[in-house]
Amino acid sequence: MKHRILAATSGVALSALLLAGCAGGGTDSGSGSGAAADCAPADGPVTLEFTSWIPGIEKVVDMWNTENPDIQVKVQTGPNGNNGTYQNFFNQIAAGNAPDLGQIEYDALPNFLVQDGVENIAGCSDVVAAKDQFVGWAWNQVALGEDGAVYGIPQDIGPMALFYRKDLFAANGIAIPTTWDEYTEAAKKIRALGGYITNFSQSDINQFAGFVWQAGGQWFGNDADGWTVSLTDSASEKVADYWQSLIDQDLVSTYPAWTDEWNNAYNSSQVWTWNSAVWGANSISSGAPDTAGGWAVADLPQWNAGDKVSGNWGGSSIAVLKGSEHPYEATKFALWLNTSEEALTALNEEANIYPATTEGLKLPSLTQGVEFYGGQKIYDVFAKAATEVTPDFVWGPTMTKTYADVSDGFKAAVSGSGTLADALQKGQDATIGALESQSIPVKK
């Protein structure tokens, strides 16, 4: 099975390469893709197509369908975005049969924007009015391109915090680190005991981006003149040097993330902490079942003592794909799905979706203690972190390629050739090259 999935994934990657040329052709590349869609209600009943990979979402949509006989939504499914669904969206947009609504992660949205794949829904009055319901920075993730444009409705966010083994820290008399300097000190003590404080992931570049996000870095910028790329800004270099020094001192393990090896390192208590997003809570309980009750959650370590800044890892939006004939009904549904208490509650129960609205952060299911974490109300920590995320981090239009390039460099750095900072420099150069090869204007 493992083998088959791997083969399948590489098949997708290969074909994505083959197809990239076709899918990219024929669309205007550039920042911003035109005026807001005309947002008038349809005359009669409407059926919308909605593609999402969120498990169990059809149950939530059924709730909508029973209440709204005139706007019926048909759920379609597929693999996670980067594992095939995004490529499918581009193919379908080219063929003119894309679904009305699609799930798109924040870091992929700019790609759809420059490929002219998503509708600007700022023309829908409900959308603009809904802005204040959302966590501010989450809204910024969908308000891209020209001023006032909106390219999706935020669905979930991934504010980051520190998952740590409370039992091990207590038993060994090590204080919970609140700054990254203290984190290094704790790492040395833990290493002396034979463990690792955390695992540095060579492949989760969006986790690293979350660290940069927290440090106030800014990988991309976009205005009327084009895109800026700054993977090597001072904050990014600070973060890269920090982790490089932990790797050099052998204070962190370097298992490939999301593998059995990695799960096992946590499950066998070899690795003590994980700086992860809110959705990571489930990853730990599934990957390290033997450690139940030993975990707790604290704020992400800070760069300066006393600061209160967090980063974000993951999160997605519901966008109206280009060619939809019913943007009015589509946004109406998307707003219900992502702001109404009944939908958010159901999404949270079905698929552990962490809402992007300020009200959603107070859902009853998110204010209870979690058994795996010794009964701690861990979501209180994340709700606080959600308000402390730096507001204006921007993703670039070629994140898949940027992730791949940086990840290559990280893998090399972990095995001792080059540094994380070198990898960022390579990613920087390759990203600029990729943008230019797609005729996307780059400011230097």
Partner 1 sequence: MSAVTTSRSPLGTRAGASRSGAIREPLVSRTSAMLVMAVFTVYFLLPLWWLLVASSKSTGDILTTNPLWFADMRLFSNIGDLFAYRDGIFLRWLGNSLLYAGLGGAVATLLAAMAGYALAKYRFPGRELVFDVVLGGVLVPATALALPLFLIFSQVQLTNTFWAVFLPSLVSPFGVYLARIFAASSVPDELLEASRLDGAGEIRTFFTVSLRLMSPALVTMFLFQFVAIWNNFFLPLIMLRSEELFPVVFGLYGWNNQLNQIPELRGLVLIGALLSVIPLIVIFLLLQRFWRNGLGTGALK
- Does position 269 bind partner 1 by CB under 8 A? no
| CB 400 to partner 1: min, Å | 16
Contact 440/29 with Cβ under 8 angstroms?
Answer: yes
Residues 19-48 that bind partner 1 (CB under 8 A): 19, 22
Q: How far is the CB of 237 from partner 1 (least distance, A)?
A: 30
Among residues 33, 88, 254, 390, which is the contact residue for partner 1, using CB under 8 A? Answer: 88
CB of 15 or CB of 234, closer to partner 1: 15
270 binds partner 1 (CB under 8 A): no
Q: Is 285 in the site for partner 1 (CB under 8 A)?
A: yes
293 near partner 1, judged by CB under 8 A: no
Can you give the three-state secondary structure of 60-86, one letter per residue?
Answer: HHHHHHHHCCCEEEEEECCCCHHHCHH
Given the rule CB under 8 A, which of 1-9, 130-138, 145-153, 333-341 is the region that contacts partner 1?
1-9
Query: Binding residue for partner 1 (CB under 8 A) from 128, 351, 370, 412?
Result: 351
Report the site for partner 1 in 201-260 (rule: CB under 8 A): 258, 260
Site for partner 1 contains 13 (CB under 8 A): no
SS (H, E, C) the chain: CHHHHHHHHHHHHHHHHHHHHHHHCCCCCCCCCCCCCCCCCCCCCEEEEEECCCCCHHHHHHHHHHHCCCEEEEEECCCCHHHCHHHHHHHHHHHCCCCCEEEEEHHHHHHHHHCCCECCHHHCHHHHHHHHHECHHHHHHHCCCCCCCCCCEEEEEEEEEEEEEHHHHHHCCCCCCCEHHHHHHHHHHHHHCCCECCECCCCCHHHHHHHHHHCCCCCEEEECCEEEECCCCHHHHHHHHHHHHHHHCCCCECCCCCCHHHHHHHHCCCECEEEEECCHHHHHHHHCHHHCCCEEEECCCECCCCCCCECEEEEEEEEEECCCCCHHHHHHHHHHHHHCHHHHHHHHHHHCCCECECCHHHCHHHCCCEHHHCCECHHHHHHHHHCCECCCCCCCCCHHHHHHHHHHHHHHHHCCCCCHHHHHHHHHHHHHHHHHHCCCCEEC
Is there binding between residue 97 and partner 1 (CB under 8 A)?
Answer: yes
Nearer to partner 1, 351 or 404 (CB): 351
Near partner 1 by CB under 8 A: residue from 96, 194, 306, 416: 96
Among 79, 216, 221, 256, indicate the residue that binds partner 1 (CB under 8 A).
79
Q: Is 17 in the site for partner 1 (CB under 8 A)?
A: no
Using the contact rule CB under 8 A, the part of the chain among 70-78, 167-175, 178-186, 214-222 near partner 1 is: 70-78
CA distance 98 to 257: 33
CB of 269 to partner 1, least distance (A): 12
The number of beta carbons lying within 10 Å of the beta carbon of residue 33 is 23
Q: State the minimum distance, in angstroms, from the CB of residue 120 to partner 1.
A: 24
Q: Are 220 and 227 in contact (CB under 8 A)?
A: yes
As given in the structure block, the two tokens for residue 413 are 């750095």
Q: Which stretch binds partner 1 (CB under 8 A): 85-93, 123-131, 337-345, 411-419?
A: 85-93
Which residue in 99, 154, 355, 427 binds partner 1 (CB under 8 A)?
A: 99
* 5 touches partner 1 by CB under 8 A: yes
Binding-site member from 163, 180, 227, 279 for partner 1 (CB under 8 A): 279
Region of 77-85, 109-117, 140-148, 410-418 interacting with partner 1 (CB under 8 A): 77-85
77, 269, 270, 358: residue in contact with partner 1 (rule CB under 8 A): 77
Decide whether 91 or 172 has the Cβ nearer to partner 1: 91
The residue from 41, 55, 293, 391 that contacts partner 1 (CB under 8 A) is 55
- Work out whether 193 is an interface residue with partner 1 (CB under 8 A): no
Residue 10 contacts partner 1 per CB under 8 A: no
Task: Name which position in 34, 38, 80, 436 contacts partner 1 (CB under 8 A).
Answer: 80
What is the rounded CA–CA span in Å between residue 262 and residue 198? 11
Cα-flanking dihedrals φ and ψ of residue 154, to 5°?
Answer: -60, 135
Q: How far apart are CB 79 and partner 1 at their closest, in Å?
A: 5
Binding site for partner 1 (CB under 8 A): 1-5, 8, 11-12, 14-15, 18-19, 22, 49, 51, 53, 55, 76-80, 83-84, 87-88, 91-92, 94-97, 99, 258, 260, 263-264, 267, 279, 282-283, 285-287, 289-290, 351-352
